[in-house]
Amino acid sequence: MSTVIFGRGLRPAALVLGAGLALVAGGCGRGGPRPAPAPDRAQAEAPVVHAGPPAEPLVKGLPDFTALVERYGPAVVNVAVVEKGQGAAATDDDNGAPADPLGEFLRRFGGMPHGAQPPHEVQRGEGSGFIISADGYILTNAHVVAEASDVTVRLTDRREFTAKVIGVDKKSDVAVIRIPAKDLPTVKIGDPSRLRPGEWVVAIGSPFGFENSVTAGIVSAMSRNLPDSGYTPFIQTDAAVNPGNSGGPLFNMAGEVVGINSQIYSRTGGFMGISFAIPIDVAVNVEEQLIKTGHVERGRIGVVIQDVNQQLADSFGLDRPHGALVSQVEEGAPGAKAGLKAGDVILSVNGRSIEHSNQLPTIIAAFKPGTTVTLEIWRDRASRKVPVQIAELKEGRVKTSATGPGERSGSERLGLTLRSLSSQEKRAAGLDSGLLVEEVDGPALRAGVQQGDVIVGVNNQPVNSIDQLERVVGKSAQSVALLISRDGATLFVPLKLGG
């Protein structure tokens, strides 16, 4: 039937559709419609059940964006940049696939075009921005202007200004630039915390240089955590965003800016239905610091965290999966001084609940260093309050471990072949205890345990021997939480036990 509809044109399709309708309406007999059978006595005497009035539709009509665009479109600007080339960029293969698929996963789309460039050749690119004060301050993306030697801002009335870069913060991908002008149109700042999935949003920018292009979509999700963007809880939308939209505003239906369009998910470099925006409250916090001091201070407590799934929640005795599970505490950091331990689950900060682990870095980063906050943590199947003094964010890395000979053993319930670490290996890895994973099978393989992982704890108990591990596993009914050291970092892996 599908071949007839799509391969033979409209006329046969209409015939097929008509036959289908006749079949539904008239039954399956060859002699045409059958007369309706007379109802029996029981059916005739049965009471008639009325379904009641039709339900009120949840969605009515489509929105009209004209008033929003007329009022705030003039505050959206085109940002043209010139920079010196830094050498050849990665090229696509013969099939048009990106040379680096992982890098392309969240490819920035507002600066230079994709493709090779001769070393030291002048490169030109375009992005977007929006005016936040009548005296010329403009918000845009850091990746649009970070390497620029010349920035030109073009308004909707075709006036052009050379802009000064006031400050750039690459961690949040927010930049502030300024043009020498007064009495400029400005946007209105909104509250992204009030956004809800399914709500209409509007993006305005300069995709491919087409200034003040308007696209619309809905909020797909809130607080998305993206690789290398741990301090920004992105707003995900399906509003069409393309090269040149970077730095442009995302409006809600009240005409308020709720985000800065920043990234897309793409396998081709073009829009594929998923775009991400920086929440405007994060951007405004960065903007205020850049204007005032030229740099951004962020708070830290010195812990490595991960999300809590159902199996981990069961292992730690939580009523449901929520919070940020601490998998590692940096020695000498505020978290360690406050007594935080691997296996603690941070449930709230100053009363603000943590549903997903990616919320914690953003909340902590917003506090000024030296501030004391109260964490609610879950430990030993009970909650407690812990005061922690915030320090200034300074990133560091932990060295990886080595391997060597030792004791071997296997566990059918885990699906692992393990051996103890030697004293030399513990010193090299900076570990007090641990069991090296040499072979993986069964439940452990399904849980994501890898060869070369070092198991340092089970169900919040450190393990230094295979006997210790098997005793803890023997007391567990259905699942365990393995604390694993991998590539210099630690993480909890929930594992459903085999029979």
- Residue 16: inside a domain, yes or no? no
**310: phi then psi, degrees, rounded to nearest 5:** -65, -40
Specify whether the CB–CB gap between 147 and 306 falls below 8 A.
no
Nearest to 34 by CA among 43, 45, 23: 23
pLDDT tens per residue, range 225-252: 776 666 788 999 999 999 899 999 999 9
Mapped onto helix, strand or coil, the DSSP state of residue 7 is helix
- Residue 485: per-residue pLDDT: 85
Residues 471 and 341 in one domain: no
Residue that finishes a domain, picked among 296, 321, 343: 296
pLDDT band with cut points at 50, 70 and 90 for residue 14: very low
Mapped onto helix, strand or coil, the DSSP state of residue 77 is strand
pLDDT band with cut points at 50, 70 and 90 for residue 253: very high
- Residue 2: inside a domain, yes or no? no
- Residue 58: inside a domain, yes or no? no
Entry pTM:
0.62
- Residue 41: inside a domain, yes or no? no
pLDDT band with cut points at 50, 70 and 90 for residue 440: confident
pLDDT tens per residue, range 63-107: 899 999 999 999 999 999 987 554 434 334 434 444 443 343 344
- Residue 229: per-residue pLDDT: 66
- Active-site amino acid positions: 143, 173, 246
* Pairing relationship of beta strands 256-264 and 188-189 according to DSSP bridges: parallel
Q: Find the mean pLDDT for residues 262-286.
A: 89
CATH number of domain containing 165: 2.40.10.120
CA 174 to CA 192: how far, in whole Å? 16
Residues 288 and 310 in one domain: no
Residues 347 and 359 in one domain: yes
Residue 20 has pLDDT above 50, yes or no: no
4 C-beta neighbours (distance < 10 Å), count: 12
- Residue 331: inside a domain, yes or no? yes
Residues 279 and 307 in one domain: no
Q: Find the mean pLDDT for residues 407-428.
A: 67
Residues 185 and 154 in one domain: yes
226 C-beta neighbours (distance < 10 Å), count: 17
Specify whether the CB–CB gap between 218 and 200 falls below 8 A.
yes
Where in the sequence is the domain holding 116, given as residue range(s)?
A: 66-296
pLDDT band with cut points at 50, 70 and 90 for residue 30: very low
pLDDT band with cut points at 50, 70 and 90 for residue 291: very high
Domain count, the chain: 3
Q: To the nearest whole number, what is the mean pLDDT of the chain?
A: 78
CATH number of domain containing 380: 2.30.42.10
Residue that finishes a domain, picked among 331, 358, 392: 392
CA 284 to CA 189: how far, in whole Å? 9
Quick one: 295 exposed, middle or buried, by C-beta within 10 A (0-12, 13-18, 19+)? exposed
Among 28-32, 336-340, 463-467, 471-475, whose mean pLDDT is lowest? 28-32
Residues 306 and 369 in one domain: yes
Residue that finishes a domain, picked among 296, 313, 336: 296
Sign of torsion over alpha carbons 466, 425, 328, 488: negative
Residues 358 and 450 in one domain: no
Q: What percent of the chain has pLDDT over 90?
A: 42
Q: Find the mean pLDDT for residues 269-274.
A: 84
- Residue 1: inside a domain, yes or no? no
- Residue 465: per-residue pLDDT: 77
252 C-beta neighbours (distance < 10 Å), count: 22
The region that residue 442 occupies, defined by phi over 0 for left and psi between -120 and 50 for alpha, beta otherwise, is left
- Residue 409: per-residue pLDDT: 41
Is pLDDT larger for residue 121 or for residue 106? Answer: 121
pLDDT tens per residue, range 36-70: 455 555 454 555 555 567 777 666 778 899 999 99
- Residue 11: inside a domain, yes or no? no
Residues 119 and 256 in one domain: yes
Residues 313 and 277 in one domain: no
* Pairing relationship of beta strands 122-131 and 76-84 according to DSSP bridges: antiparallel
Nearest to 371 by CA among 360, 380, 363, 359: 363
Residues 450 and 385 in one domain: no
Residues 256 and 367 in one domain: no
- Residue 291: inside a domain, yes or no? yes
Long-range contacts: 473-476, Cβ < 8 Å, 24+? 473/411, 473/413, 473/414, 473/497
CA 449 to CA 379: how far, in whole Å? 24
pLDDT tens per residue, range 191-226: 999 999 999 999 999 999 899 999 999 999 998 877
- Residue 237: per-residue pLDDT: 96
Specify whether the CB–CB gap between 218 and 199 falls below 8 A.
yes
Residues 363 and 473 in one domain: no
